[in-house]
Amino acid sequence: MDAAKLERYRSSQRRLLKNRLTRIGIVLGGSMVLVSLLLIFFYLLYVVTPLFRSPSLTESYQAPFLSPAKTLKLGLDDSRQYGYRFTDLGVVEFYQANGEHTARRLDLPEGAQITASAKAHPASEILAMGLSNGDLLLARTDFITTYPNNLRTITPALGYPLGSPTYPLGEEAIRSLSVAADQEQVTLVWRGDQGPYQLTRLYGERDFLSDEVVWTPVSVELPELNNVQSLQLSPDQRQLFVLTDNRIQVWQIGALDAVRLDQVLDAAEPEARITELALLAGESSLLVVNDNGVVSQWFQARIDGQRRYQRVRAFVHDGPVTAIASEHYRKGFALGDAEGGLDLYHTTAERHLLHQDGGNGAVRHLAFAPAGNGLILESGEGVTLFTLDNPHPEISFSALWQKVWYEGYSEPDYVWQSTSGSNDFEAKMSLMPLAFGTLKAALYAMVFAVPLAVAGAIYTAYFMTPGVRRLVKPTVEIMEALPTVILGFLAGLWLAPIVERNLAGILLLVLLLPLVILLCAWGWQRLPERWHSSTWGHYRELLLLPVLILTGVVALWLSPYLELLLMGGDARAFITHELGIPFDQRNALVVGLAMGFAVIPTIFSIAEDAIFSVPKHLVNGSLALGATQWQTLNRVVLLTASPGIFSAIMMGFGRALGETMIVLMATGNTPLMEWNIFEGMRTLAANIAVEMPESAIGSSHYRVLFLAAFVLFVASFFFNTLAELVRQRLRRKYSTL
Amino acid sequence: MRKWFTSGAPWIWMTSGAVSLALIAVLGLLLLIASRGLVYFWPSTLYEWQLQESQGETSVVIGERYERERVPRERLEQAGMTVPGEAPFVERFLVKTGNRERVSLDFRWIWQDQVIAERTPEALAVVERVRNGNFYGYPEALVVDGERLQGGQMATRLPSVIEEANRLRDEARELQSGAIGRINYQLEQLRLQKRKLALKGQDSPDNLAPLEAQASALRAEYQVLEQSLFALRQQAASDWLEVREMTGETVRLPMDQVLAVAFPNRMNLLEKLWHWMGKVAIFVTAEPREANTEGGVFPAIFGTVFMVMLMAVIVTPFGVLAAVYLHEYAANNALTRFIRIAVINLAGVPSIVYGVFGLGFFVYVLGGSLDSLFYPEALPSPTFGTPGVLWASLTLAILTLPVVIVSTEEGLARIPSTVRHGSLALGATQAETLWRIVLPMASPAIMTGLILAVARAAGEVAPLMLVGVVKLAPQLPVDGNFPYVHLERKFMHLGFHIYDVGFQSPNVEAARPLVYATSFLLVTVIVSLNLTAIAVRNHLREKFRSIDHG
């Protein structure tokens, strides 16, 4: 007896324990699953946020000068291990974080001094020096990586791009100099003690036997250059910018036999003097520094068929600028001022990225690390090195959503162009054309889907016989389940050519279908009483099937004749040439039809549900009071169900926004901003599908694509929540009625 | 008239017209896919046309007629074509002439006016080849072991020679993908083991010696197998078929290139049907050829099914768990209602967003960490840190989770609370009620949810393009090499196959019928899955109606 009791007690203990464990398991597991669904939102956000984080600048170390000489050029190596300084005594000093500073001497000829110097564009890291004996010295730093004992070791060295350190330019000391250089060609603008400015171009040719480059000079005199304050050569060696008399002269020097003054820019800000010129990374942007702290950006834009330099935008710095440096590859630049402050800007994004105070007196020189992740500046009696965390300077709200004036464009515009073959290419990542394309595709789909789906839902819920309804509903569900890749394929390869070839017929069909239906309705009314009150009258949808198919066939058959009659035989040519509307084969019309097809079932199901579940006593009451079927539908049923229909349309719109495969396959995927129904578009979703596999992890492009996904997520969530809330309110309302 | 309009009768007809249009669209679409997809395998009649060329010469074209159209002369002239005749409309038809290596384009338009004579000779044959598509022409002779057979002799020997060629080809492929594939796989594993030892600093000669020995043994085996593979190939190439093509030239087709020879003009309906069934079977079971534009879709079918099954295994327990929690355990408060709305909304989030999430989180974050933890020897080439079938299944599992949750919750809600109360009143604990009463009763709803999830997953392509699908996977995710299931591999998918072949292949015209066939296959699978789900759901409703009223 006791044993049995004990056994029962134990078993119930076990059962209770099991019950508790199950409870814990399910609560834990269930909430974990739900939390992991939330994770999607937060992960997307997590990837996107670095885009908008402000950059940070941290000081790595300071080092006092190794010698009291003046600085010609500052720089950093790729790994940011070394900072270096070219001095006017012909010495290059290398500074290291661990205090092991070293110095190398340049190969100056005996007795010669440096009398002038010029920096080539930052990415080349070349410094040109003019010597007192008339020689030119071209030098750059090289950092050699070796792996002794499997340890990465970087040793600094000096390199001479011309092969030999010096090259004889003239007889007398060089007083002024400007340089641009690449592998095959070096361009110099210089002046000796006396005589006019000279433009000298060295053409390099590799000797096959010795494998050395032999440089051949060609020179042109530039007697018109006087009173020169500053010189800059564009990196492509086609343009020379001369600052003189508070104006900037732009010289075309691409061909040495046709050197000419192209344009004179009144580039100074009102009541200000230009103090310095600098070039932005890439080919064509000029930064003009004014003594009131305004830095304006100028580049060539095509105005009235001519490429002229234009003032594009300006950045206002508080107080005069004492040093400017542009990044090697990106469109950013840094300013230093007399108080030792440091400011970072990005031109196209129009962002003031960062301000840092300094206390060491005026900033005299500035330079970026090649990857833009470090900075070196000179102030007081030494240099300071910084680590710069600035991964996405080119992204800003204005760059993503507003018109941006890109280099080479004649006006500000929304542009999406994320990649290109060229190295100097600046990614243009405006989400506007994509968002526009998304809306365009969705709206054209809705134009097609909403009337059909809502009208169909009304008929199915209110007029259709139960037998047919039992067949129609699963058919629509099947329609919803059709893979969109198949719809896209049919739209792109089957429908698009048909629409193109029978454009007139398709347009005719839009007119003809309602007319034919009306005609049928009228004809039915005219039939003898015995006919039109028979049970056949309940199967209008089935009666119409053959009629509509026939109408379609007739319209398509008529299409060529119609085109011949109205459009001179070729609708496409007529639209492009006569009407002047661009025409793509894969256009918004095709997308609208295909995506409309995909959206119809979503709208239909929900709207039908809302109309069908309108309480019957409302309908009966209305009918009992003498209203006709149509009046009841119009004034009672639709009014009651309208929130449901609204929510159905919202759901459909949400689905159309994110649809990928159909737009991917049925449009040309060109990011256009035109409402034209005969042109394609590129949507956010299709863009992600096309570009995501090729984007590098962590790059701005990658994060912007995540942002696109995030926008889609939020948009569809918004529309769906709206729809769902409306639906739930409606359900509560019905239950109280 | 006005009265008639206000009576609403025309508007009712209009609404019914909307239903009719939708029905026409769905049924028409299914019919279109079915007809185009199935006709692809039907042995179509081969024609020989005699054509009038521009300079008064005549030429002969042999091929299949693809489509026929009537075009306004205007359009063609604007496109820069010279059109014979005077009529405002010109009739033309598209002909597949095959023989791709001998003519620049294997499709050409022919004007109806050009045709002088049209014949369907019985001797015309279509030769299916491993490379370069079909060959059309008159078989003249068959050369077997140096012996030249013609006429009736050729006809009698041809089937056995083709069978022999196919056997040799199968053998060669078996050798290549089976034995040689296994050796390559093992060699790669040995390389990784060596690298692993090196990473651990244990790459002493003692440790490496057995690996080296194994590797050299494998290499020796490889040599032998390669020899026999060459021998097989040579043997297969020793016979050939001579076919006279439309230009009158006789072309030699080596038997190792010939897959099948058919004389469609000679076949009666029954033979055609038989031929058709054979082609369908090949389509479903064979591997693709010629950049996916010919051959079968077996790897795509396998990839789709495998990925979807993996997804189902992942999504079912989690979906049910979440639904049970929401419906049976969570308090019915604002938070729960919010979660419910959120879950319903997640079902409406664009699939590409899930793809982006899958790529970022599963592939790069999870896969990347798995790689650095367990597969450091293979780095920098990633093992799991790259799109693959596991990540695709996981992504689709997340995508379909809301479907399963919503459907299961619906099933749970349908179970009358009296049933639960009865169980509890008899002394069962909540867990026992759940396990013995509620879940079994909800199982059809769970099934419905699962089927819907599978149907959705099978048709979803956009996210897969980011997380693991490829146009041509060299190996299936399941093979005979340990550990047999390779979840890190990329896979092929029917939906992506449609996109890829239809839009990325160089010869879209030639590939289009195959795309229709693939579409038909996919639609069949998905429609039948959905119909099953609908049937299960209706059955379920009936059942609970009887419980409610019984």
A597/B353 Cβ within 8 A = no
Please report the DSSP string for B287-309 in residue order.
PEETTTTEE--HHHHHHHHHHHH
Q: Which helix (H) or strand (E) holds B354?
A: helix B351-357
Q: Which residues pair with A263 in a beta bridge?
A: A250
A545/B20 Cβ within 8 A = yes
Residues 39-78 of A with CB under 8 A from B: 39-40, 43-44, 47
Cα–Cα distance measured from residue B92 to residue B70, given in angstroms and rounded to the nearest whole number: 6
Q: How confident is the model at residue B549 (pLDDT cuts 50, 70, 90)?
A: low
Q: Closest Cα of chain A to B464: distance in Å?
A: 9
Secondary structure letter of residue A669 according to DSSP: -
A651/B15 Cβ within 8 A = no
Say whether pLDDT at A364 is over 80. Answer: yes
B459/A685 Cβ within 8 A = no
Range of the domain at A662: 432-734
A566 touches chain B (CB under 8 A): no
**Average pLDDT estimate for A716-724:** 89
Residues of A in contact with B10 (CB under 8 A): 517-518, 521-522
Show Cβ contacts of residue B173 under 8 Å, excluding neighbours closer than 6 positions.
Answer: none
Residues of B in contact with A541 (CB under 8 A): 16-17, 19-20, 23
- Assess if residue A303 is contained within a domain: no
Q: Which residue of A23, A485, A487, A542 is the best one to mutate when testing the B interface, meaning the one whose CB has the most B CBs within 10 A?
A: A485
- Assess if residue A30 is contained within a domain: no
Say whether pLDDT at B44 is over 90. Answer: no
* Position with higher pLDDT, A146 vs B55: A146
Say whether pLDDT at A680 is over 90. Answer: no
Minimal Cβ distance to B29: which of A33, A463, A490: A490
Q: What is the pLDDT of residues B239-250, one digit of tens each?
A: 888 898 888 888
A521/B13 Cβ within 8 A = yes
Say whether pLDDT at B78 is over 80. Answer: no
B459/A485 Cβ within 8 A = yes
Instruction: Locate the chain A residue with the closest alpha carbon to B397.
Output: A37
Say whether pLDDT at B172 is over 90. Answer: no
Residues of A in contact with B398 (CB under 8 A): 36-37, 40
Residues of A in contact with B523 (CB under 8 A): 482-483, 486
Split into its structural domains, chain A has a count of 1
Average pLDDT for chain A: 87
Contact B404, B448 (CB under 8 A): no
Say whether pLDDT at A434 is over 90. Answer: yes
Say whether pLDDT at A486 is over 80. Answer: yes
A651 touches chain B (CB under 8 A): yes
**Residue B471 corresponds to which amino acid?**
K
Q: What is the pLDDT of residues B398-408, one digit of tens each?
A: 999 999 999 99
Q: Which residue of A434, A661, A664, A682 is the best one to mutate when testing the B interface, meaning the one whose CB has the most B CBs within 10 A?
A: A661
Q: How confident is the model at residue B23 (pLDDT cuts 50, 70, 90)?
A: very high
Q: Which residues pair with A218 in a beta bridge?
A: A201
**Residue A496 corresponds to which amino acid?**
A
Q: How confident is the model at residue B550 (pLDDT cuts 50, 70, 90)?
A: very low
Q: Closest Cα of chain B to A717: distance in Å?
A: 6
**Average pLDDT estimate for B446-472:** 88
Q: Closest Cα of chain A to B11: distance in Å?
A: 8
**Average pLDDT estimate for A269-293:** 86
Residues of A in contact with B26 (CB under 8 A): 475-476, 478-479
Model pLDDT, residue A424? 66
Q: What are phi and psi of B265, to 5 degrees?
A: -70, -15
A19 touches chain B (CB under 8 A): yes
Q: Closest Cα of chain A to B75: distance in Å?
A: 5
**Average pLDDT estimate for A668-695:** 88
Say whether pLDDT at A272 is over 90. Answer: no
- Assess if residue A8 is contained within a domain: no
Q: What is the pLDDT of residues B198-242, one digit of tens each?
A: 888 777 888 888 888 888 888 888 888 888 888 888 877 788 888
Instruction: Locate the chain B residue with the closest alpha carbon to A560.
Output: B72
Residues 477-496 of A with CB under 8 A from B: 477-479, 481-486, 488-490, 492-494
Say whether pLDDT at A554 is over 70. Answer: yes
- Assess if residue A631 is contained within a domain: yes
A38 touches chain B (CB under 8 A): yes
Model pLDDT, residue A262? 87
- Assess if residue A18 is contained within a domain: no
Q: How confident is the model at residue B354 (pLDDT cuts 50, 70, 90)?
A: very high
- Assess if residue A548 is contained within a domain: yes
Q: How confident is the model at residue B497 (pLDDT cuts 50, 70, 90)?
A: very high
Count CB atoms within 10 A of the CB of residue A541.
26
A34/B343 Cβ within 8 A = yes
Contact A180, A237 (CB under 8 A): yes
CA B110-A489-A693 angle, 5° bins: 125
Contact A665, A484 (CB under 8 A): no
The domain that contains A450 carries what CATH number?
1.10.3720.10
CA B59-B64-B70 angle, 5° bins: 80
Instruction: Locate the chain A residue with the closest alpha carbon to B9.
Output: A521
Question: Distances from the Cα of B84 to the Cαs of B70, B247, B383, in angstroms?
Answer: 14, 23, 62
Contact A607, A454 (CB under 8 A): yes
Q: Closest Cα of chain B to A152: distance in Å?
A: 18
Q: Closest Cα of chain A to B380: distance in Å?
A: 15
Model pLDDT, residue B548? 57
* Position with higher pLDDT, B88 vs A154: A154
Question: Shortest CA distance to A217 belongs to which of A116, A285, A135, A329?
Answer: A135
B33/A33 Cβ within 8 A = no
B434/A483 Cβ within 8 A = no
Q: How confident is the model at residue A423 (pLDDT cuts 50, 70, 90)?
A: low
Minimal Cβ distance to B527: which of A478, A542, A719: A478
- Assess if residue A9 is contained within a domain: no
A548/B18 Cβ within 8 A = no
Instruction: Locate the chain B residue with the closest alpha carbon to A717.
Output: B345
Model pLDDT, residue B360? 92
Q: Closest Cα of chain B to A148: distance in Å?
A: 18
**Average pLDDT estimate for B437-451:** 87
Q: What is the pLDDT of residues B123-144, one digit of tens each?
A: 899 998 888 888 899 988 888 8
Say whether pLDDT at B322 is over 90. Answer: yes
CA A128-A133-A139 angle, 5° bins: 20
* Position with higher pLDDT, B448 vs B270: B270
A36 touches chain B (CB under 8 A): yes
Taking the CA atoms of A531, A536, A539 and A543 in sequence, report the sign of the dihedral they define: negative
Model pLDDT, residue A672? 84
B498/A716 Cβ within 8 A = no
Instruction: Locate the chain A residue with the closest alpha carbon to B90.
Output: A560
B462/A664 Cβ within 8 A = yes
Model pLDDT, residue B84? 66
Q: Closest Cα of chain B to A569: distance in Å?
A: 5
Model pLDDT, residue B547? 65
Q: Closest Cα of chain B to A519: distance in Å?
A: 9
Q: Closest Cα of chain A to B102: distance in Å?
A: 27
Please report the DSSP string for A520-532 in residue order.
HHHHHHHS-HHHH
Residues of B in contact with A721 (CB under 8 A): 341, 345
Cα–Cα distance measured from residue A473 to residue A507, given in angstroms and rounded to the nearest whole number: 29
**Average pLDDT estimate for A410-421:** 82
Model pLDDT, residue A571? 76
Minimal Cβ distance to A459: which of B18, B348, B456: B18
Say whether pLDDT at A360 is over 90. Answer: no
Q: Which helix (H) or strand (E) holds B231?
A: helix B205-237
B523/A486 Cβ within 8 A = yes
Show Cβ contacts of residue B309 under 8 Å, excluding neighbours closer than 6 positions.
Answer: none
B351/A631 Cβ within 8 A = no
pTM of this structure:
0.89
- Assess if residue A142 is contained within a domain: no
Q: Which residue of B351, B352, B529 is the best one to mutate when testing the A interface, meaning the one whose CB has the most A CBs within 10 A?
A: B352
Model pLDDT, residue A84? 92
Comparing A400-409, A650-659, B533-542, the range with the smallest average pLDDT is B533-542
Q: Closest Cα of chain A to B156: distance in Å?
A: 43
B461/A570 Cβ within 8 A = no
